[in-house]
Amino acid sequence: MILKTFSDDQSNPSELSTHILLVDDEYDLLRALSATLTRAGWQVTTASDGQQALHVFRRISPNLIILDLMLPVLDGWEVCREVRKTSDVPIIMLTARDDSVDKILGLELGADDYVTKPFDSRELIARIRAILRRANRTYTGTTLRLADFEINLESQTVSRDGKQTVLTPTEFDLLVHLARHPGRVFSREDLLEQVWGYDFPGDLRTVDVHVRRLRLKVEQDPAHPTLIRTRFGVGYVLVP
Amino acid sequence: MSWYHKLDRHIPTRSLRWQLGMSYATLALVVTALLTGLALRIGSNISLAAEQRQALVAVSGAATAFREALANPTADLSQVARQQSFASNGRVLWLNDDGTVRLDAFAEAALGGTKLDLPQELAQPTEPIARAYAASSGWVIYAVAPVSTPFQPASLVVLAQDISHIQHDLAQLRATLWLLGGLLACGFAALGFLYARSVTRPLGQLTAAVQQMQAGNLAQKVVPEGSEELRQLATTFNTMATNVASLDEERRAFVANAAHELRTPLAALQALAYEMQENIAPQTSELAAFVRQTERLGRTVDNLLTLARLDNPDIKPRMIPIRVRNLLAEVFWVMRPVAAKRSIELIFPDELENEPWVLGDPDWLHLALVNILGNSVRYCPPHGGARVGVICTSNTVAIKVADSGPGVPREALSELGQRFYRVSSAREHSSGGSGLGLAIVREIVELHSGQLAFASPPGAGLIVTVTLATVPEPEDEL
């Protein structure tokens, strides 16, 4: 059983409250990475298989999960699906496979980002920071009106005809960003930078998958979107 | 550029459809020519024979009329000639036997007095003769008959008939036949085109499918249609395409798995390296982990290279007779220290009455047995053991490795030996296996035409059995 909470007394106390669940079946990676993340100022709990991960997740309610895909007992996809049933905690997937199908599947299941092994620990830290920033983002103002939608910025919810639509934080951020600049075309790079908060090159497929998931929730006919339109070769635009 | 090449540029004369159509048309035309020739020949023969018969009758009649007229001194000979001429629809001449015309029915003395140069066969007739000739003006029939009376010198009657109407009829017949033949040829050409379509369509589909495969779209399927041979070709092609596609899928999966196997230790190494770089005083445990992951990476690369070598169809194992006991002794010599480190006991087989010999490549067989024993050592709990047994039948030897490890669930037994297959990822990862060891064993055993079997009775560990054919002990042991 590898279940240990690493903490570092020297870390920034304001960030100490941020709890990361790190799941990988590779003991050496787990140890090195949790040491690195602890030094970066987060509280890290590790798990080495899928079942353990779910168990720990329910116990500690982490602020972020870093999840390897190839896990014994329950694989990363199963864990992701299970977590998403009850929580919209940000999930970063780790994968040693190149298959874009794997990556897309991870994103479809509700992961917020993925990182391909081997990775640079600095980049992982940057991604964690970007995601946490987004998760803690607060909006000024109260509501945005958009066609027949009402976007409540305080409770971070979207409703149509009084019926609430459940969006993940990333989807919500994406919608708000597009809704605040109606008619403006954003390239995928723009969106990665402005919504995801990446100051490093990220995978543009992440944007596509999130746009598609958002369309599934807000478009009348997701196959023929009228609200969030694609400008081929340019990017996405919200047409109110 | 020749006319042919010019033609070829505009019409695909080399295409099957064109060639088949043209062949059919040519055949139709040749048949038409032959039939027309035959028909004209038969037609002209029949018509001429009929005309000649009529001419004979007419000239005989004329000769009789002249004979009677000569016997009758009051008779007007030219009147007779005109009558005969009218009746026979020809020109009646009365000649001396030297060929001088004495009377011409057509015009009084038109040829009178001139000497007719009759053809040889007609010059001295003893009985009525009719012959057809092709004159410059058209076809004619000359019929001659001798006129012999007791009181007159010998003379003869000549009947000349214009039968050019037969020629016209035949020409018309020929034109009709050629017209029919031409139409027929066009019909056959069209038929050829249509028939060729039934060949070119499946061929075109096959070509398109092959081109698709060439472009990298390996999952191709064509509908078998057309003739039996083409159906067979299409079916064979489909089978081949399926095989190629599945081979490609296997390759893709292998590469993806290999990448995964290489990336996992690399990720650990990179994370460790970063941590060691950031941490002012690297800990011994980190260094040990670094070494462990590096070794694992090295092992994976070694295994991948070994598999690549075994996959090479040109690989020629160096087959020599090997004494099984010697083979096992070498394996034990290598594995005992490794096992001792984990306090695992390896038990050598008992002495047998007849020590078996096998034909094989000692290096490959050594590697296979090291991998099997290595697995046992890796998965046995400390203070466990692995026992090697040798069981002989009349012509085979089974090398059995039974360990005291956790065993393998029944449903996983059939998967053992698959590349990158692991019974339990957690167990293997901490042990550093790459999931290739038993795959290598399987390849080596297959290379030796042997059999590899796995068993895991409840409560016991895993039993791996390698069965090989035995050979008689060589006369002079090397």
pLDDT in tens, A19-44: 999 999 888 899 899 999 998 889 99
User: Which H/E stretch holds residue B49?
Assistant: helix B16-71
Among the listed residues A135, A13, A120, the one whose alpha carbon sits nearest the alpha carbon of residue A63: A135
Q: In Å, how far from its chain's centre is CA A24?
A: 18
Q: Tell me the average pLDDT across A127-140.
A: 82
Partner residues linked to A186 by β-bridges: A236
Q: What is the 3-state secondary structure (H, E, C) of B107-171?
A: CCCCCCCCECCCCHHHHCCCCCEEEEEEECCEEEEEEEEEECCCCCCCEEEEEEEECHHHHHHHH
Of A25, A35, A96, the CB nearest to B275: A35
Q: Is the pLDDT of residue A1 over 50?
A: no
Better pLDDT: B363 or B426: B363
Between chains, do B426 and A36 touch, taking CB under 8 Å as contact?
A: no
Residue B269's pLDDT band (cuts 50, 70, 90): very high
Which structural domains are found in chain B, ordered by start?
Answer: 1-213 (3.30.450.20), 246-311 (1.10.287.130), 320-469 (3.30.565.10)
Query: Which positions in chain B touch A50 (Cβ < 8 Å)?
Result: none
Confidence (pLDDT) at A22: 95
CB B17 within 8 A of CB B24: no
- Selected residue of B274, B277, B283, B286 to mutate for chain A interface (largest A Cβ count, 10 A): B274
Under 8 Å between Cβ of B158 and B144? yes
Q: Comparing C-alpha atoms, which of B91, B87, B219, B92 is closest to residue B147?
A: B92
Q: How far apart are CA B79 and CA A16, in angstroms?
A: 152
B100: which DSSP letter?
Answer: B
B445/B78: higher pLDDT: B445
The verdict on a CB contact (< 8 Å) between A48 and B426 is yes
CA A119 to chain B, closest CA, distance in angstroms equals 6
pLDDT of residue B143 exceeding 70, the answer is yes
With a pLDDT cut of 90, the percent of chain B lying above it is 25
B269/A96 Cβ within 8 A: no
Please state, rounded to an integer, the average pLDDT across all residues of chain B: 85
DSSP string, B202-271: HHHHHHHHHHHHHTT---------SSHHHHHHHHHHHHHHHHHHHHHHHHHHHHHHHHHHHHHHHHHHHH
Read off the pLDDT of each residue in B336-347 and give the average, rounded to a whole number. 89
CB B383 within 8 A of CB B343: yes
pLDDT at A7 over 50: no
Mean pLDDT of A65-79: 88
Dihedral of CA atoms B21, B26, B32, B34 in degrees, nearest 10, equals -150
Mean pLDDT of chain A: 83
Question: Among B263, B274, B429, whose Cβ lies nearest the Cβ of A117?
Answer: B263
Q: Tokens for B137?
A: 């003006």
Query: N- to C-terminal Cα distance for chain B?
Result: 75
A36, A96, A98: residue with CB nearest B267: A96
Segment B198-225 shows an average pLDDT of 88
Question: Is A38 within 8 Å of A11 (Cβ atoms)?
Answer: yes
Whether the per-residue pLDDT at A71 is higher than 70: the answer is: yes
Two tokens, residue A47: 């798990």
Helices (H), chain A: 13-16, 27-39, 50-60, 76-86, 100-108, 121-135, 169-180, 188-191, 205-218
Note whether B79 and B108 are within 8 A (CB).
Answer: no
Q: What is the pLDDT of residues B86-134, one digit of tens each?
A: 888 888 888 887 778 888 877 655 676 777 777 877 877 888 888 888 8
Chain B residue closest to A36 (CA)?
A: B275
What's the mean pLDDT in B235-248? 91
**Has this prediction a pTM greater than 0.90?**
no
Q: Tell me the C-alpha distance between B320 and B366, whole Å.
A: 13
- Using an 8 Å CB-CB cutoff, list chain A residues near B285: 31
pLDDT at A145 over 70: yes
> CB-CB: which of A49, A98, A117 is closest to B267?
A117
Q: How does residue B280 score in pLDDT terms, banded at 50, 70 and 90?
A: confident
Rounded to 5 degrees, what are φ and ψ at B380? Answer: -70, 140
Nearest CA in chain A to B254: A97
* B70 SS3 class: helix
Task: Please say if the pLDDT value at position B192 is more than 70.
Answer: yes
Distance from CA of A170 to the nearest CA of B (A): 27
Q: Find chain B residues with C-beta within 8 A of A28's C-beta.
A: 268, 271-272, 289, 292-293
- Residues B430, A70: C-beta atoms closer than 8 Å: no
Share of chain B above pLDDT 70, in %: 93
Partner residue opposite B256 with nearest CB, options A36, A97, A120: A97
CA–CA distances in Å: residue B79 to residues B37, B278, B350: 44, 148, 143
Strands B463-471, B396-403: pairing is antiparallel
Residue A194, min C-alpha distance to chain B (Å): 28
Of A28, A48, A94, the CB nearest to B292: A28
Quote ipTM for the complex.
0.73
B301 Cβ partners below 8 Å, 6+ apart? B262
**Which pairing describes strands A143-146 and A113-116: parallel, antiparallel, or unpaired?**
unpaired
Mean of pLDDT values over B295-313: 87
Task: Give the model's pLDDT for residue B424.
Answer: 62
Number of residue pairs across A and B with CB atoms under 8 Å? 83
Question: What's the mean pLDDT in B283-309?
Answer: 87
Q: Is A35 in Cβ contact with B429 (below 8 Å)?
A: no
Q: Rounded to whole angstroms, how far apart are CA atoms B61 and B157? A: 10
Under a CB-based contact definition with an 8 Å cutoff, are residues A102 and A76 in contact?
A: no
Q: What is the mean pLDDT of residues B417-436?
A: 66
On the question of pLDDT at A5 being above 50, the answer is no
How far apart (Å, rounded) are the C-alpha atoms in residues B467 and B465? 6
Nearest CA in chain B to A118: B267
